[in-house]
Structure 1
Amino acid sequence: MRAVTLSFISLSLAIPSLISASQLPLQVPTSYNEDDSLLAQDSWRAGAERYDDQQVWRVGWTGVGENAKKEVMSIIELLDLDVWHTTRSSLDVRLSPREAEVLSSYLPTSTFKPFIPDLQSLVDLSFTSTFDLEAAEEAESDDSYDDARSNEVDIEKKRKKKKKTKPAPKKPQIDPFNLTTIETPYHDAFHPIEDVYKFGQVLISTFNGKDGLDLQEINIGKTFEGRDIKGWTAKMTEVNGTQPQDLSKKRKKKHGGKGRGREREEDAEEPLELEIVVQAGQHGREWVGPSSALYFLHNLLLHATSHDDSDSRTLLKSFRFTVIPNINPDGYEYSRQHSRLWRKNRQDVGGKNGKCVGVDLNSNWGYKWRPSKHSSPCSETFPGREAFEAYETKAVSDYLAAAESRGNKVRAFIDLHSYGQLFMFPFAHSCDDFPPDAEMLMEAGLGVAKAMRTRQGEGYEAGQACDLTYRAPGDAIDYTYGVTDIRWSYSAELRDTGTYGFMLPPSLIRPTADEVTAGLLYLAKFIYVLEVNPPQTPRLDN
């Protein structure tokens, strides 16, 4: 009976209704129209996918029985709906009017509500308030700019008001690529990938060699479309050229030359350098992750090179920090240019008529990976046909696996996502698989959440990933903890809790990145005190 019901639902959505054309599912993408509003003209690219009449619903699970919950999830999988966020108590899902009608027939009206009633207007808002580098000068001279950062709800009103008022006196302008200050307007906008990479180049020219800082660009690999996956790695040497003692495993040192092919006892060990890796951007539409990763690295370098007694300086002497701000530049650029809510990479995966594109990167890592029973290659959550099929996950996993050959031991791995305001440790695939380090991971995670909340006042929840979100195999932190033995593996869901979802306005980039930076610094200090400079020696101030 259940199979018959689901088949009927599928047919009802596929066959046009003769009674009311307004009940048809939205046909996307629709072409840009010159008659559209000024807001849409300014904010949306010609030919890009639009989301008119679509909504995001929040479905509350309180009072919903397990059987009803399973039925709803089956419908969601059958229709391949775009699930935005899941928790123990609710689920956010994007719906066309027809899909909303079908789903509501299976739920009590008290359990759901349109959480985002007009999706396209929110997409417009996220673009409208974004200024690119060419428009930076104009944005800096606008007196509504600072207000918009503190009150994103009024951005559109302020924009309209600006047309009727005299321009305010120009403020001192800051070049977006003047990285000698954290106040650079670069951190108040989302940028194309080429400007992300330019930012990294300017970081090097600004900070490399300053006070013994070694800052280098690294190329992790290539995407399906041939883009570079770039990162930046930083370490500061001691004044006398020595490094803090590493308490992790040592590696053997080989000696070349005639008669010296064997290891010598007196110098057979060389300390491994502890490395902390921060990555972001697995999902193209989650723009605030890459922005926050860049802000974190910039903030770290600024404090380390401008304050001799700063925690950042001490941490950079003890750890190599590697930041990969966007491991999915193909999906990110497609989200910017064509489909704002694009999630996957842009890999050709065949499927229906050979036209399916994209692997969900965070379901493609090689720990407890399994093919999906329901999703087709065209699905939003397609995990690939095998682990590490995606170019991007394979490239990053190769980088992590090669740590020892670089003389490093990756001690922490943090994967930045949005949204939900969560800080999670493994495992994501199942709560039956419990990490031996769970107690310490939870203790550190709670401290991170507190540091983030103290910084900006926004609450973050810490816990095991499988308990806080929808259980999924092939997750990045499951792989880093379960295979590469990175003890401190975490996944962070950044702002917000659903008001904007993936369309976080640029006015919220800086506060989000600021609290993330506070959390990541707390985690690094926690590891430092525990593993590098144990309690019997002076501790860092919290």
Structure 2
Amino acid sequence: MRPRILPVLTLGLLASPISGISNTHSDNQRPLVLPAPLLTNSESALDRYDGEQVWRVNWEDVEDRDKREFMSRLESLNLDIWQTTSSTLDLRLPSSHLDHLHSLLPPSASAQIHILNLQQLVDATRPDSAKPDKDWNLDSLNSTFHSAYHKLTELETFGMKLVERFEFLDKIEIGKSWERRSIWGYRVRKDTSDSKSSDEGGGGGEKQEEEEDKVEIVIQSGQHAREWIGPSVALYFLHSLAIGSEDPESVVTQLLESFTFTVVPTINPDGYVWSHETSRMWKKNRQDVGGKRNCKGIDLNSNWGYHWRPPHSPNPCSETFPGNHAFEAPEPAAMARYISNGSSDGLSGGEAVRSFVDLHSYGQLFMFPFAYSCSTFPPDAEMLMEAALGVSKAMRTTSGEKYQAGQACSMTFRAPGDSIDYVYGVTDVRWTYSAELRDTGTYGFMLPPDLIRPTAEELTSGLIFLAKFIYKSEIER
């Protein structure tokens, strides 16, 4: 794959690149000892990130074996890896850790500062809790809701307001989180034989008679708590479907003749709440996992039950901790049950899930399985790639932003236990993808609020293209 050219943040003067330094030490050097772990399970409110930065390691010429060893050392030291591609790795660390980064770099690698002041970006993205705005205009995608990030209660309030307002939208509970919060899904489907009951403010959980030939497209987001853009974009897409369902001439109305769309904005509600109320950089769920420091959290996107494997040196406090066994975390287990046999438990309405898209950030990628290894090529790879290229083109046509398409294993260094691997490899959902939304690293997980809407618009265009592609490939003929 041709290496990507990625921008460098210009919040301040850039430091000079650091040339690659071997991991070997001379006899008079002290062994590497890091300060207190960067990542903690602090119970204090509103962790701050003053003095922390994000560095981009350029490792295009580093052997895969050395890349894995480098990543393993970073993870063992509780350093926070933000993103990995075939050519770069983004790493969060305090400026005081810079010398230690020098010592860890593999041969042929170099690094330069990418985000100079992390706290500045955190402040710029935090919702204004003093002025909650719940008078959202539901009849237009220009609603102020899509111009800011929101706490979980506001996400759920907006979803419920959509259910109450739009006839073809209902609400289902996918399951419960570790802390017993509901994992809500919102379903858009048009049924000419039986309209939705109007009881109890729209009948959010009413079951309907379904046409036998309908199939389901599932959109999931929020596995990683700090990726706030995912839930925001998912709800924009849901809103666009709801509005489109009322226009008899719209492409959405045409698609609803054949498809049900199910959107799960926040599969990790506990982690999402924690990222708002305590630690903005929190990634995992909030499950008790033990360890010497009574650690919490499993990386949900490493806990799905396909080619799952335990880490060589388990560290429950690590941000990438995959759990002690597959589906130990209740959140992916609930979602897997829904996708696998929702029709038997009354949730899915009897449709077969035909497509699954998992939303993440960041990197601007649209990827198909497998993520765990490139040694196995999916039988549908040619069709998956054709559709992914079309999705990327639709997104680029909408906004001008380029999204790369390809197989996940070749585009990122992802762990086993990935959601798309399970959905494709076990539940046999053919059109399975993972999307890494904006941006390519300038802001990382702190995408400014004014970029929520354009990101959502391009993703909506891409998903509509995907649905039309599936229709032409499997339903129309």
Q: 2:276 aligns with which of 336, 342, 349?
A: 336
Displacement over 4 Å in runs of 4+ = 2-5, 8-11, 24-31, 65-68
1:367 aligns with 2:306: yes
Contact 1:272 1:407 in 2 (8 A): no
Which AA in structure 2 matches 1:101? D
Partner of 1:396: 335
Which AA in structure 2 matches 1:469? T
Which AA in structure 2 matches 1:331? G
1:287 aligns with 2:286: no
Partner of 1:111: 110
1:228 aligns with 2:249: no
Partner of 2:156: 197
- Deviation, 1:71, is 4.6
Partner of 1:509: 452
Change (3 A) 1:455 1:369: same
Partner of 2:86: 88
Question: Runs of 5+ in structure 2 lacking a partner?
Answer: 1-22, 196-210
Contact 1:348 1:358 in 2 (8 A): yes
Question: Runs of 5+ in structure 1 lacking a partner?
Answer: 15-23, 32-45, 137-174, 243-269, 535-542
Contact 1:452 1:460 in 2 (8 A): yes
SS in 2 for 1:416: strand
Distance 1:392 1:64 in 2: 36
1:72-221 residue pairs with structure 2 within 5 A? 72-107=70-105, 111-127=110-126, 130-132=127-129, 134-136=131-133, 176-208=135-167, 213=168, 215-221=169-175
1:307-346 residue pairs with structure 2 within 5 A? 307-346=247-286
Contact 2:41 2:295 in 1 (8 A): no
Contact 2:224 2:284 in 1 (8 A): yes
1:299 aligns with 2:240: yes
Change (3 A) 1:197 1:113: same
Partner of 1:252: none
- Deviation, 1:67, is 6.1
Distance 1:54 1:415 in 2: 29
* Larger RCO, structure (CA 8 Å, separation 6 or more): 2
Partner of 1:443: 386
Change (3 A) 1:79 1:319: same
SS in 2 for 1:498: coil
Contact 1:297 1:323 in 2 (8 A): yes
Distance 2:31 2:258 in 1: 57
* TM-score, scaled to structure 1: 0.75
1:357 aligns with 2:296: yes
- Deviation, 1:3, is 11
Contact 1:49 1:339 in 2 (8 A): yes
- Deviation, 1:77, is 2.8
Distance 2:116 2:380 in 1: 42
Contact 2:37 2:77 in 1 (8 A): no
Contact 1:414 1:492 in 2 (8 A): yes
Q: How many residues align?
A: 434
Partner of 1:157: none
The CA deviation string for residues 134-161 of structure 1, in whole angstroms up to 9 with x for no partner, is 354xxxxxxxxxxxxxxxxxxxxxxxxx
Change (3 A) 1:422 1:502: same
The CA deviation string for residues 187-213 of structure 1, in whole angstroms up to 9 with x for no partner, is 1111111111111111111112xxxx3
Partner of 1:465: 408
- Deviation, 1:229, is 0.5
Distance 1:48 1:441 in 2: 42
SS in 1 for 2:272: helix
Contact 2:285 2:299 in 1 (8 A): yes
Partner of 1:419: 362
SS in 1 for 2:245: helix
- Deviation, 1:480, is 0.4
Change (3 A) 1:333 1:135: closer
Which AA in structure 1 matches 2:446? M
- Deviation, 1:336, is 0.4
Distance 1:27 1:241 in 2: 52
- Deviation, 1:177, is 2.7
Which AA in structure 2 matches 1:334? W
Distance 2:38 2:358 in 1: 34
Which AA in structure 2 matches 1:13? L
Change (3 A) 1:66 1:274: closer
**Which of 1 and 2 has greater Rg?**
1
The CA deviation string for residues 275-308 of structure 1, in whole angstroms up to 9 with x for no partner, is 0000100000000000100000111111221x22
Distance 2:108 2:375 in 1: 34
Partner of 1:253: none
SS in 1 for 2:156: helix
Distance 2:331 2:323 in 1: 12
Partner of 2:217: 276
RMSD after superposition: 2.6
Q: 1:477 aligns with which of 402, 415, 420?
A: 420
SS in 2 for 1:410: strand
Partner of 1:164: none
Distance 1:216 1:25 in 2: 45
Change (3 A) 1:85 1:10: farther
Partner of 2:352: 409
Which AA in structure 2 matches 1:448? V
Distance 1:485 1:494 in 2: 25
SS in 1 for 2:353: strand
* TM-score, scaled to structure 2: 0.85
SS in 2 for 1:381: coil
Contact 2:57 2:109 in 1 (8 A): no
Distance 1:73 1:184 in 2: 42
1:20-35 residue pairs with structure 2 within 5 A? none
Contact 1:28 1:49 in 2 (8 A): no
Contact 1:10 1:78 in 2 (8 A): no
1:30-69 residue pairs with structure 2 within 5 A? 47-65=45-63, 68-69=66-67
Distance 2:452 2:163 in 1: 23
SS in 2 for 1:407: coil
Change (3 A) 1:450 1:25: same
Partner of 1:259: none
Higher helix share: 1
Which range is displaced more, 228-237 or 341-350? 228-237
Partner of 2:203: none
Distance 1:322 1:93 in 2: 34
Which AA in structure 2 matches 1:287? W
